[in-house]
Amino acid sequence: MVDILIVEDDLHKFEELEGFVLGRFAGAWVEKAVSVSSAIRAIDVRRFDLILLDMALPSHTLKPGNGPPSSLLSGGLEIIHEFDFSNRNEPIVILTQHPEIEIDSELIPLGAVTDKINELFSVNLLGCIFYEMGSDAWRNKLEGLVAEI
């Protein structure tokens, strides 16, 4: 069985990603994390065969009665940093709705993000994909990246 972590706070995007995963990996077990803190808790508990990672994430999961969590446009980098710090090498794919990602106070175009992250961190980043709801382009790119898993 394939264990997959989807780190995504948007319900519709999560459902599309989960649909892709369950269609691609029969019998896959999917864990959902909706914030930086919930993703870090998940990776502290277990190892995954694949991590699908959004970049813009809240710091913590919203809880009734508490104030709203901080929104982090590069929250996914915190998770990548955790993988680097922990010497973890599970394959990661970034899926983002933004054409650029801020890394070290610099906006990096998506086409250059994989090289930049692999230069800064010791992680197994397979690639960075522009996600557009309802599009097959992201699905085709993701299929190519996970073909060996």
Q: Which domains does the chain have, with CATH numbers?
A: 3-17+46-60+69-145 (3.40.50)
Whether the pLDDT of residue 64 is over 70: the answer is: no
Whether the pLDDT of residue 78 is over 80: the answer is: yes
User: Which residues are CB-neighbours of 55 under 8 A, at least 6 positions away?
Assistant: 73, 74, 75, 76, 77, 94, 96, 98, 101
Calpha distance 55→49 (Å, rounded): 19
Nearest CA to 40 out of 3, 77, 10, 67 is that of 77
Calpha distance 7→55 (Å, rounded): 9
Decide if 48 contacts 92 (C-beta within 8 A): no
pTM listed for this prediction: 0.91
Q: Would you state the pLDDT for residue 77?
A: 93
Average pLDDT taken over every residue of the chain: 90
Chain centroid, CA 87 distance in Å: 17
Q: What is the pLDDT of residues 82-108, one digit of tens each?
A: 999 999 999 999 999 999 999 988 999
Q: What is the pLDDT of residues 37-60, one digit of tens each?
A: 999 999 999 999 999 999 989 875
